[in-house]
Amino acid sequence: MSVLFNQISKVFADGTVALDKLSLEFDKGEFIILLGPSGSGKTTACRILAGLEEATNGSVSVDGRDITNLPPRERNMSMVFQNYALYGHKTVYENIAYPLRIRKIDRDNIDSQVKKIASVLQIEQLLDRRPSQLSGGQAQRVAVARALVWTPDICLMDEPLSNLDALLRLQTRTELKRLHQDLGHTFVFVTHDQEEAMTLGTRIAVLNQGKLVQFDIPRRIYHEPATRFVAEFIGRPAMNIIEGEVSGGMFKADTLEIPVTGQPDGPVAMGIRPEQVVLREGPTDESVSFELDVLELIEPDTLLFVKKGAASMVVRVMRDVGDLDRGAEVHLELPADARHFFEISDGRRRI
């Protein structure tokens, strides 16, 4: 099975362009993440796939069948909503059973399927309760159970974890990953949280202002961001970007000068991830000295905010570096294979 977004555009009544010619294709069994900041069109893309929103232009097809104009019920997809959208007047059991009831499955089958998915999600003891008696995490599981109790072609999730507290969010994230590995369903998961995206996704579609910026496996999104936007959006703290100029094999930004190879002369934005900068005890051949501005200890790591002239950077060191005074000189190496170069003009990756 494959799902194809073909040149999907969505313009809302007020003129907002939510999606601009989005094209995307993925296969059955994948865990696809739609990632982007608010207003990037990720939720709109998900809702167009669900049939809850009509595309202004373009088409969506599943296995070659055009589903652009089908109502949601004929698309064989289920959805987990951000606020869970459980039916308040029904018990948990009836909430989960509801998609089966609508599809007129016989009673015995419904019962066995509800119990099966309830045991997978470990909510058997909640079946008699009402949604108002559930905690956020429990309600979230019930919503997932309702979405997976039948065998939809695709399970859509619109920021399902964002209403959970931090700890529960981590647990549920792991559980979703296990669920995907065990059941092999196809998931499309909308989030603005890059960490969720990186951990859950088999592939991530990064959207910005209605456009697809990059669609790739998490490793490549991290190591080879297609644009400066992706580079800064993925990773925490965000990738350091220093705008400067290459001339004669040197990258220059204010007083910072680093030798580079293979870069044509001209203005460029150089990026390096905070965790890939190497802190040295003393000066080395490749090191550059920076001035320490602020030091934050976030056990077990240390964040060093450093500057050199107008150029500033964050460095993440995976250990406690002890006490360093403000203004102290620190020696940093920016390994050549960890550097990224982006065009100043449009943010595209060079080479």
Partner 1 sequence: MAAVATLVVVLVLFLTPYIWIILTSIKSRLDALADVPVWTFTPTFDHYPKIFIDKDYLPLVWNSLIVAIFSTVLSLIFGVPAAYVFARFEFPGKEDLFFFFLTTRMAPPISIVVPMFMLFSVLGLTDKPIAVILAHTTFNVSLVVWMMRGFFADIPREIDEAAMMDGHTRGGTFLRVLLPMAAPGLAATAVLCFILSWNEFLYAFILVAFEGRTLTVGIPGLITPHGTLWGQVAAVAVVATLPILFFTFLVQKHLVRGLTFGAVKG
Q: Give the shortest CB-87-to-partner 1 separation in angstroms.
A: 6
- Partnered with residue 5 across adjacent β-strands are 24, 60
Q: Tell me the residue type at 292.
A: L
Classify each residue of 92-119 as buried b or exposed e, where b means 16 or more C-beta atoms within 10 Å of its C-beta.
bbbbbbbbbeeeebeeeebeebbeebbe
246 CB-near residues (< 8 Å, 6+ apart): 252, 260, 263, 264, 265, 266, 268
Q: Is residue 84 a contact point for partner 1 (CB under 8 A)?
A: yes
Q: Give the shortest CB-158-to-partner 1 separation in angstroms.
A: 9
Nearer to partner 1, 64 or 71 (CB): 71
Nearer to partner 1, 70 or 278 (CB): 70
Q: Is residue 139 a contact point for partner 1 (CB under 8 A)?
A: yes
Q: Is residue 85 a contact point for partner 1 (CB under 8 A)?
A: yes
Q: Give the shortest CB-61-to-partner 1 separation in angstroms.
A: 19
CB 40 within 8 A of CB 212: no
Give the side-chain half-sphere CA count within 13 A for 339.
19
Choose the binding region for partner 1 from 58-66, 98-106, 268-276, 320-328 (rule: CB under 8 A). 98-106
- Partnered with residue 340 across adjacent β-strands are 271
For residue 31, give both structure tokens: 């865990």
Q: Is residue 88 a contact point for partner 1 (CB under 8 A)?
A: yes
Nearer to partner 1, 106 or 337 (CB): 106
Q: Is residue 16 a contact point for partner 1 (CB under 8 A)?
A: no
Quick one: which of 12, 103, 178, 254 contacts partner 1 (CB under 8 A)? 103
Quick one: which of 36, 41, 131, 347 contacts partner 1 (CB under 8 A)? 131
Quick one: which of 15, 71, 300, 322 contacts partner 1 (CB under 8 A)? 71
Nearer to partner 1, 71 or 248 (CB): 71
Whether the link from the prior residue into 237 is cis, omega within 30° of 0, is yes
Q: Tell me the residue type at 215.
A: F
Q: Give the shortest CB-349-to-partner 1 separation in angstroms.
A: 38
Sheet holding 250-253, edge to edge: 256-259, 250-253, 240-247, 266-272, 339-342
Burial of 172 by CB count in 10 Å (0-12 exposed, 13-18 middle, 19+ buried)?
A: buried
Q: Is residue 283 a contact point for partner 1 (CB under 8 A)?
A: no
Quick one: which of 2, 16, 69, 83 contacts partner 1 (CB under 8 A)? 83
Choose the binding region for partner 1 from 49-57, 118-126, 240-248, 310-318 (rule: CB under 8 A). 49-57
Q: Tell me the residue type at 107.
A: R
Binding stretches for partner 1 (CB under 8 A): 13, 50-52, 71-73, 77-79, 81-89, 98-99, 102-103, 130-132, 134, 139, 146
